[in-house]
């Protein structure tokens, strides 16, 4: 589930668009974050933190009177950290960023 403030804002947009009679609704959600820390050995320790409640949120949008038509996803890199490996065997890199979900709904 998106952050409560974001969820409220997006659901309000869905209600307003439906009340206006819009045919389509397009929403963007953060659905995962890639984080990590450098290691003293210079290796990367990346971890993906997923939002397992996205389906619940999408169901709430559909309850308003929308039907999910299309989805798309993109990784948006926000940075990276590199560190030298201990025995001079190159560098380790830790990526940072998020996976954004793009959801297009059609009015029922």
Residue spans of the domains in the chain: they are: 4-107
- 46 Ramachandran zone, left/alpha/beta (phi>0; psi -120 to 50): beta
Distances (CA, A) of 7 to 65, 84, 92: 17, 41, 36
pTM: 0.77
How far apart (Å, rounded) are the C-alpha atoms in residues 43 and 86? 9
Query: Residues 6-49: pLDDT tens digits?
Result: 999 999 999 999 999 999 999 999 999 887 666 555 555 667 78
Residues 51-74 have a mean pLDDT of 95
Q: Find the range with the poorest average confidence among 16-30, 58-72, 80-94.
A: 80-94
Confidence class of residue 102 from pLDDT cuts 50, 70 and 90? Answer: very high
Provide DSSP, the chain. ---HHHHHHHHHHHHHHHHHT-SEEEEEEEEEEEEEEE-TTS-EEEEEEE-TTHHHHHHHHHHHTEEEEEEEEEEEEEEEEEEE-TTSS-EEEEEEEEEEEEEEEEE-
């Amino acid at each position: 589930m998106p952050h409560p403030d974001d969820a409220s804002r997006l659901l309000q947009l869905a209600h307003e668009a439906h009340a206006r009679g819009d045919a389509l609704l397009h929403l963007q959600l953060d659905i995962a974050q890639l984080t990590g820390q450098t290691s003293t050995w210079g290796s990367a320790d990346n971890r993906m933190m997923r939002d397992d409640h996205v389906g619940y949120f999408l169901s709430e949008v559909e309850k308003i009177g929308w039907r999910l038509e299309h989805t798309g996803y993109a990784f948006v890199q926000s940075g990276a950290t590199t560190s030298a490996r201990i025995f001079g065997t190159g560098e380790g890199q830790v990526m940072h960023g998020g996976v954004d979900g793009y959801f297009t709904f059609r009015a029922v």
